[in-house]
Structure 1
Amino acid sequence: MKRKDFLQWSAMGLGAFMLPNIPAFGRSIDPLEALHEGIDVKLKKELSDVALNAAKAKGATYADVRIGRYLNQFVLTRETRVQNVANTESYGVGIRVIANGSWGFAATNKVTKEDIARTAERAVAVAKANSRVPADPVQLAPQKGYGEVTWKTPIEQSAFAVPVRDKVDLLLKVNSIALQGGANFVNSGIFASNEQKYFASTDGSYIDQDIHRIYPQFNVTKIDKASGKFETRASFSSPMGMGYEYLTPTPESKVSGLVTRYKDRYDILEDVKNATADVTQKMTAKSVEPGKYDLLLDPSHLWLTIHESVAHPTELDRVLGYEANYAGTSFLTLDKWRSGNFQFGSKLVNIVADKAQPHSLGAVGYDDEGVAPKKWELIKDGVLVNYQAIRDQAHIIGLKESQGCCYAQSWSDVQFQRMPNVSLQPGKDTLSVDDMIKNIKKGIYIMGNGSFSIDQQRYNFQFGGQTFYEISEGKVVGMLKDVAYQANTREFWNSCTAIADKRDYRLGGAFNDGKGQPSQSNAVSHGSSTARFDGVNVINTARKIG
């Protein structure tokens, strides 16, 4: 899975990606198998102790073991028919050790005491082989053991317990609304995941976790038969760390505005009705005139800009150059942080990392190194103040403990630094979106994420969106199309002049943030309220250059 895969999700162009028997997802199973409980937690502890003892016996100075069961369900429809229903399960054990000052890792899908012991021994052998390559010994930040603890995503209803028929009925109703509204094509889907993870380490932790996520999606297309031109609009849903209750909206979850939006619940039927009206309006929308505009960016759009221009460049391993061969480095080099006064953005810009944020994709009780997650500042009053670091990186930036942002996409992958939820904090003063619109003379209000491009240092970028509304003299005067804005990261965030208050705060996110070699995917959310950015360069994506 590549790091831009989530754009395919936005268009629901999932195709073979959603089929069963893909190695990343494991074996195909019957939907009812997902409801079976995994192995008893006492047995998990016994198996873990086998791994830890075998590793220490072979010379490991540190060891951790992850026993994981990963469940996924995909339900896909198009117009009046079901395209695919896939249920997968992946199950096995990953063991990581330090021996002779170096890391070693090995994994197995044979969950017996004998195979686990052999796997632990193999991990130590890998570490000792790695130690022959000259390098500084691994320095792990101290971490207390938590003993035997459990954590579960606080869900109301597991998505896996909802019959597939009910999901199909809902999705076909979504499609019917779009078709009745004049759409020519519509596809929709629901993806649910459940990570059942057990972590144990020589530090004395035995942690059992049950993590749930869900992502409903659709894409509506309308064609002008006379010209052959078409317009599309994807759903304004967000992937969430929730159960099926995400699809049962409440009046309290509504956010008023130009388009009805939702905080921690989602009304897919209302959204598809609005989306069908939007694509009709987009057919006759005015093509944007290039130039400088004040941009009003909705959280359904801004999450992706945060992800690419803030969350990625503050990953410490990227700063250190470890990602250079795959997905680039970062312009936020250590000298900028050490200066203590690098003005990343305006004084309104406060960005935090938080892997415990409720309902977020990244929410866990403990990371994949057995560290309880924290909340910390990355950008404070516009100034770069910190990065994202795990146990073997903490000493590099003078931290005495990990920030709890280590993750592996499966039991068969080694855990490493992955971004936590990274979010722009709401404005401190009372300010609504309507208030913000009144103060804009020439601007564009952008909703939803679209295509984007950003350079290898996360500095120069271009972003599109789903829907665009022209603002003139403090009023929304109509819809635009062919809009994309260009800037560099520092210039853009320093142009932030207003942020709506916490009433407008919402989460967006991606299920498929890719990183590392071999590549792994991470699920992560990014929150914000609607924010204003002044004097940003807007281009017309339909016009030829030159």
Structure 2
Amino acid sequence: MKRRNFVQLAGLGAGALMVPSAMIGNNIAAEALLEPGLDIATKKSLADVALNTARSLGASYADARIGRYLNQYVFTREDKVQNVVNTESFGIGVRVIANGTWGFASTNDVTDAGIKKATQQAVAIAKANSKIQTEPVTLAPVEAHGEVSWKTPIVKDFREVPVSEKVELLLDANSAAMNAGANFVNSALFMVNEQKYFASTDGSYIDQDIHRIWPTFGVTAIDREAGKFKSRDALSAPMGMGYEYMDGLDSEKLKSPAGFNLYRNSYDIIEDATTAAKQAKEMLTAESVMPGKYDLVLEPNHLGLTIHESVGHPLELDRVLGYEANYAGTSFATLDKWKAGDFKYGSDIVNIVADKTQPHSLGAVGYDDEGVKTKKWDLIRNGTLVNYEAIRDQVSILGQNESHGCCYAQSWNDVQFQRMPNVSLEPGKEPYSVEEMIKDVEKGIYIAGRGSYSIDQQRYNFQFGGTVFYEIKDGKIVGMLNDVAYQSNTQEFWNSCAKICDEKDYRLFGSFFDGKGQPSQVSAVSHGSSTARFNGANVINTGRSV
């Protein structure tokens, strides 16, 4: 599965076939998702088998991750259910340092004997690898947390909501879209529960219960006489929440300047599907954009993807160092730029932070997958590059002695490594609304939702589309546009950021299946922002009018 497939799954009707293999596990009955699994005392006893075995074999460090991964996916099209998938995956991964070198092994035989055998294999791998290791692994110190726990703060556990209720909601959304003029519609619900237990020779025993949810759909309207069709995808954001996200009761629902509703901490899929059908029909007769220079007003659901690709990925330290070059490229944001201390990544109002503690975000956890308590830190401050995203065996390269806490593995049988944390643009400090921003634009385009994109291997030159586009003339929205994409490079784009709305407009975008590494792993990550304006962007006509 290629990177472009992870950010946004296309063809939801065949969505079950697109789910990454690590998210599958063994098919089970929906009721089995509610089974309690191992108690904490048993997990601790089993983890100690790994830690004690590793020590006895000469490992200087070891950690064990016992993971139970529960997933439920529901897929529908028009008035039919296409698939309901319930999966469970359970096992343990053991990571060690022996002779200054990493070793890793895993097993689904979660017994004393099975764990001992996997640990022996991990140590043997480390010792074999040490023969070609040029420098020993250097780990930043970490606090011993003892026995602690953390859970995503949820109101409704998706596992306790009947499948029939979820199916009914999706079919109601499909029906609403069809009644509003759609010719085709498909919809899906992705729900994830990670039950993870981490133990290490540093003295931490951490139990975590993590929940994520993603409702989405695609709507298509057809003009048969003209031989045209237009599609509009959901404006939902995947969230680190429970099923309460689907209640549609958000008291902070926001109105876009084009008149349709946007969503923050609750999502109304029926309302969004209805609007999507109307907008898809409107696209059939909307004008095609005239290429040229425009001021762009980018709402958070759209801007989040641009942040993801042009800030989140290029500031991953392993990418900067070239470790990702073979698969996903390198980064223009090289260490020499950071060391200079004055590299202008963006304009003075651009402040971008990494934050693994952000409420409702996909990346929110109490501790990362090597036992580091999560935190928030600056990446770009007043437009200047000030830091990267790094973990325990990387931060010494930056002259730092504390991990950033962004280590993650997609499952128990994958080794943990550096992953993107939540990366977000801070809202403007002064009161400033989207309506005021529109009034300040003479010639511009308002873009909502994510769409197609392309970015080079160094995360520098790029092109982004969107979901819906509206022309701005003399401070007013004057109509819908088609075929819009903007081109820029990362530094030019962020230095053109002229205004950012205040915190009242702040919302999250999310990537549920973000790919990285070889063998490839997926992770989920959010990006927050308020609506922002970028002056003088180069807009092209993509020519996709049918």
What are the equivalent positions in structure 2 for 1:82-101 lying under 5 Å apart? Answer: 82-101=81-100
Equivalent-residue separation in structure 1 for 2:526 and 2:397 (angstroms): 26
Post-superposition shift, 1:248?
1.2
Deviations 1:377-411 (A, max 9, x none): 00000000000010000101011110100000000
Post-superposition shift, 1:543?
7.2
What are the equivalent positions in structure 2 for 1:384-399 lying under 5 Å apart? Answer: 384-399=385-400
Q: CA RMSD in A?
A: 1.3
What are the equivalent positions in structure 2 for 1:336-415 lying under 5 Å apart? Answer: 336-415=337-416
Which position in structure 2 is the counterpart of 1:242?
Answer: 241
Which position in structure 2 is the counterpart of 1:6?
Answer: 6
Corresponding position: 1:316 with 2:317: yes
Post-superposition shift, 1:25?
1.8
Equivalent-residue separation in structure 2 for 1:239 and 1:483 (angstroms): 25
Equivalent-residue separation in structure 1 for 2:195 and 2:22 (angstroms): 18
Equivalent-residue separation in structure 2 for 1:25 and 1:350 (angstroms): 38
Corresponding position: 1:255 with 2:254: yes
Which aligned runs of 4 or more in structure 1 are off by greater than 3 angstroms? 13-16
Deviations 1:194-233 (A, max 9, x none): 0000000000000000000000011110011112210010
Which residue identity lines up with residue 142 of structure 2 in the other structure? Q
Equivalent-residue separation in structure 2 for 1:49 and 1:37 (angstroms): 21
Which residue identity lines up with residue 163 of structure 2 in the other structure? V
169-178 or 252-261: which moved more? 252-261
Which position in structure 2 is the counterpart of 1:272?
Answer: 273
3-state DSSP of counterpart to 2:472: strand
Deviations 1:269-326 (A, max 9, x none): 1111111111111111000000000000010100000000000000000000000000
Post-superposition shift, 1:92?
0.3
Alpha-carbon contact 2:240-2:364 (below 8 Å) kept: yes
Alpha-carbon contact 1:2-1:512 (below 8 Å) kept: no
Alpha-carbon contact 2:250-2:265 (below 8 Å) kept: no
C-alpha spacing 1:498/1:8, structure 2 compared with 1 (3 Å): closer
Deviations 1:392-434 (A, max 9, x none): 0010101111010000000000000001000000000100000
Which residue identity lines up with residue 206 of structure 1 in the other structure? Y
Equivalent-residue separation in structure 2 for 1:19 and 1:514 (angstroms): 12
Alpha-carbon contact 1:2-1:513 (below 8 Å) kept: no
Which position in structure 2 is the counterpart of 1:171?
Answer: 170
Post-superposition shift, 1:249?
2.6
Which residue identity lines up with residue 3 of structure 1 in the other structure? R
Which position in structure 1 is the counterpart of 2:475?
Answer: 474
Which position in structure 1 is the counterpart of 2:534?
Answer: 533
Alpha-carbon contact 2:72-2:191 (below 8 Å) kept: yes
Q: Normalised by the size of structure 1, how large is the TM-score?
A: 0.98
Alpha-carbon contact 1:73-1:191 (below 8 Å) kept: yes
Aligned pair count? Answer: 543
43-52 or 253-262: which moved more? 253-262
C-alpha spacing 1:510/1:14, structure 2 compared with 1 (3 Å): farther
Which position in structure 1 is the counterpart of 2:520?
Answer: 519
Equivalent-residue separation in structure 1 for 2:278 and 2:382 (angstroms): 40
Alpha-carbon contact 2:13-2:77 (below 8 Å) kept: no
Give the fraction of aligned pairs with identical amino acids, expressed as a percent: 64
Corresponding position: 1:36 with 2:35: yes
What are the equivalent positions in structure 2 for 1:500-519 lying under 5 Å apart? Answer: 500-519=501-520
Which position in structure 1 is the counterpart of 2:308?
Answer: 307
Equivalent-residue separation in structure 1 for 2:318 and 2:407 (angstroms): 12
3-state DSSP of counterpart to 1:253: coil
Corresponding position: 1:233 with 2:232: yes
C-alpha spacing 1:156/1:140, structure 2 compared with 1 (3 Å): same
Deviations 1:27-80 (A, max 9, x none): 101000000011111000000000000001111000000000001111010001
Alpha-carbon contact 2:23-2:71 (below 8 Å) kept: no
Which position in structure 1 is the counterpart of 2:129?
Answer: 130
Post-superposition shift, 1:134?
3.5
3-state DSSP of counterpart to 1:371: coil
7-16 or 516-525: which moved more? 7-16
Post-superposition shift, 1:4?
1.8
Equivalent-residue separation in structure 1 for 2:528 and 2:354 (angstroms): 10
Which residue identity lines up with residue 27 of structure 1 in the other structure? N
Alpha-carbon contact 2:13-2:82 (below 8 Å) kept: no
Alpha-carbon contact 1:174-1:272 (below 8 Å) kept: yes
Post-superposition shift, 1:24?
4.3
C-alpha spacing 1:249/1:236, structure 2 compared with 1 (3 Å): same
What are the equivalent positions in structure 2 for 1:436-475 lying under 5 Å apart? Answer: 436-475=437-476
Which position in structure 2 is the counterpart of 1:210?
Answer: 209
C-alpha spacing 1:14/1:401, structure 2 compared with 1 (3 Å): farther
3-state DSSP of counterpart to 1:389: coil
Equivalent-residue separation in structure 1 for 2:516 and 2:60 (angstroms): 28
Ranges in structure 2 where 5+ consecutive residues have no aligned partner: none
Which position in structure 2 is the counterpart of 1:292?
Answer: 293
Which residue identity lines up with residue 4 of structure 1 in the other structure? R
3-state DSSP of counterpart to 2:115: helix
Q: Normalised by the size of structure 2, how large is the TM-score?
A: 0.98
Deviations 1:114-157 (A, max 9, x none): 11011111100000011000311000000111001111000001
Equivalent-residue separation in structure 1 for 2:11 and 2:105 (angstroms): 37
Equivalent-residue separation in structure 1 for 2:168 and 2:46 (angstroms): 42
C-alpha spacing 1:91/1:310, structure 2 compared with 1 (3 Å): same
Ranges in structure 1 where 5+ consecutive residues have no aligned partner: none
Post-superposition shift, 1:185?
0.1
Equivalent-residue separation in structure 2 for 1:220 and 1:160 (angstroms): 28
Equivalent-residue separation in structure 2 for 1:479 and 1:10 (angstroms): 24
Post-superposition shift, 1:257?
2.7
C-alpha spacing 1:86/1:51, structure 2 compared with 1 (3 Å): same
270-279 or 499-508: which moved more? 270-279
Alpha-carbon contact 2:54-2:119 (below 8 Å) kept: yes
Which residue identity lines up with residue 328 of structure 2 in the other structure? A
Equivalent-residue separation in structure 2 for 1:444 and 1:19 (angstroms): 34
Equivalent-residue separation in structure 1 for 2:16 and 2:450 (angstroms): 23
Post-superposition shift, 1:93?
0.3
141-150 or 255-264: which moved more? 255-264
Alpha-carbon contact 1:291-1:537 (below 8 Å) kept: yes
Equivalent-residue separation in structure 1 for 2:296 and 2:483 (angstroms): 15
Deviations 1:343-402 (A, max 9, x none): 000001000000110000000010000001110000000000000010000101011110
Equivalent-residue separation in structure 2 for 1:453 and 1:295 (angstroms): 18
Which residue identity lines up with residue 450 of structure 1 in the other structure? G
Equivalent-residue separation in structure 1 for 2:6 and 2:410 (angstroms): 15
Equivalent-residue separation in structure 1 for 2:218 and 2:266 (angstroms): 19
Post-superposition shift, 1:457?
0.2
